[in-house]
Structure 1
Amino acid sequence: MPGIEKTEESKNILSIDIGGTSIKACLLTPEGELFSAYTKLPTPKNATPVEVLKVVHELVSPLQDYCKIAIGFPGYVKCGIVETAPNLAKNKWAGFPLAQEVSDLLGRPVRLINDADQQALGIISGKGFEIVLTLGTGFGTSLTYDGELLPHLELAHFPISKTKDYDDYIGDRAYEKEGEKKWNERVQRIIEIYKTVFNYDTLFLGGGNAKHISFDLDHNIHIVSNRDGIKGGAKLWAAEEKYHIFTTYPKSNT
């Protein structure tokens, strides 16, 4: 079939960003330029693996001209397997082979990493110690040095008080409950902690709630968009395959 031949010859990358609120997708050139419109659908309220896969299939069905898939996922993943998914369906994701399921569903090789790490690859300059924080349904962190991802840490679950972790403190639930003013004060506190602990060269603030930041930022702190972050799917495929970047192939091709 002509359509299939065109897809197989394509060098484009399908980049998917799975979030607690929405699932986004676009096609990228190998250089990371947008090849298609940036599209999204709401994350299902009952965000089990089966329901999320249904939305992914619906979202990407119109996008045909690609040969590889990059996925950013809101939790800890290792070798294509989901370990945690704190802002999706509770107790449904641990051990789920998401990369293999998507690879079989769409018939392409898949690389799966944490969503903040994928965002970072699309945003960072590649110079020095750079950190990306995502302020969305939950709180995400990616650490990079000279353009290379450092091992992922789920700092969202680091305690900030006796009863709250970072997710509780500045995630979407906190924004809705406490209001914009108090939420901004909390974000400022987190930034001060990161300054002291990490002494970063540059800090990027992304995610859907970054647009609500109302305080002045230091010269080395920048607000970025999800559209910039999804471009990290191309850099994920340009990276060497390391212990934290694992490629899954369709079973029919193995």
Structure 2
Amino acid sequence: MVVANHPSVQQCHTLAVDIGGSGVKVMVLDLEGNPLSDRDREPTPTPATPDAILAAIDRLAADKSFERISAGFPGVVREGVIETAANLDSSWIGFDLATALAEHLGKPVRVANDADIQGLGSIAGKGVELVITLGTGFGSALFMNGRLVPNLEMGHHPFRKGQTYEEQLGRPALDSVGKKRWNRRLERAVETLGHLFNYDCLYIGGGNAKKIDVDLPANTKIIPNVTGLLGGIALWKEWE
């Protein structure tokens, strides 16, 4: 979502923001989406209210130069407004993040679901591509020939034993059942998703992707967590 006049493309640097259940990350990207700064991080504050998260972003952005902002949020986002926030404070519901962030940092802002952005930074743009993110929760994004189906939020759909994908594969589940059982659950999830979506490629990202210890199908790729920031450039591509 644009909340101010878009800057001149020739000198555009983008502050990519990734808001997560365990960390808030930022990085500056050039016009092609290449990193111009380190990936800086603060732990997600408790409680993770809008004011607390915005204060963390202010601190992380203080020493950086940029002309526009992209932000990924772990929930449904519509026109820059947050509609769900399962792993953050409930005060996010109905919060206009795009407008608030633009007012805080004085730059135009676009906001999207964090898994959608991770997908935009990872996909090949051919055929049916599914992205899942394994972090505090369970994110998902679906693409057809590079076109996004927004706000899939598959993590809250039933998976097995009366629980959702997020309840079975989120960070609390990993901590509770241990890495071995969690990996067995992931194997079942990958098999189920393959039958459900018949995708050409599955991408698995998020902070807990490093915990994967099973053989995955040939059409599955593990992607680095930094793509949750690098994909932010795609929110601005139409101006270029």
**Which bracket does the TM-score occupy, shorter chain normalised?**
over 0.9
RMSD across aligned positions (CA): 1.5
Q: SS at 1:205's partner residue?
A: strand
CA distance 1:118–1:239, shift in 2 (3 Å): farther
What aligned pairs does 1:77-116 form with structure 2 within 5 A after superposition?
Answer: 77-89=77-89, 91-116=90-115
SS of the residue 1:160 aligns to: strand
Tell me the equivalent position of 1:157.
156
The aligned residue for residue 128 of structure 2 is 129
User: How far apart in 1 are the matches of 2:147 and 2:237?
Assistant: 11
* Matched AA of 2:81: I
Which residue of structure 1 lines up, in the alignment, with residue 71 of structure 2? 71
Distance 2:54 2:207 in 1: 22
- Aligned twin of 1:60: 61
Q: How does 1:13-28 map to 2 (within 5 A)?
A: 13-28=14-29
Cα distance in 1, alignment partners of residues 115 and 71 from structure 2: 11
Shift of 1:162: 5.6
Matched AA of 1:215: V
Q: Residues of 1 paired with 2:77 and 2:32: CA distance?
A: 25
The percentage of counterpart residues that share the same residue type is 44
State the alpha-carbon separation in 2 of the partners of residues 124 and 239 from structure 1: 18
Dislocated runs of 4+, deviation >4 Å:
none
Aligned length: 232
Identify the residue that residue 191 of structure 1 maps to in structure 2: 190
CA distance in 2, matches of 1:165, 1:59: 34
Corresponding position of 1:249 = none
Separation in 1 of the partners of 2:150 and 2:97?
20
CA distance in 2, matches of 1:165, 1:219: 26
Residues 85-110 of structure 1, C-alpha deviations (whole Å, 9 max, x = no match): 00011x21110011100011001111
Look up the match of 1:207: 206
Structure 2: distance between partners of 1:121 and 1:189: 25
Task: Select between 49-58 and 162-171 the one with higher mean Cα deviation.
Answer: 162-171
Normalised by the length of structure 2, the TM-score is: 0.93
1:172 is displaced (CA, Å) by: 0.2
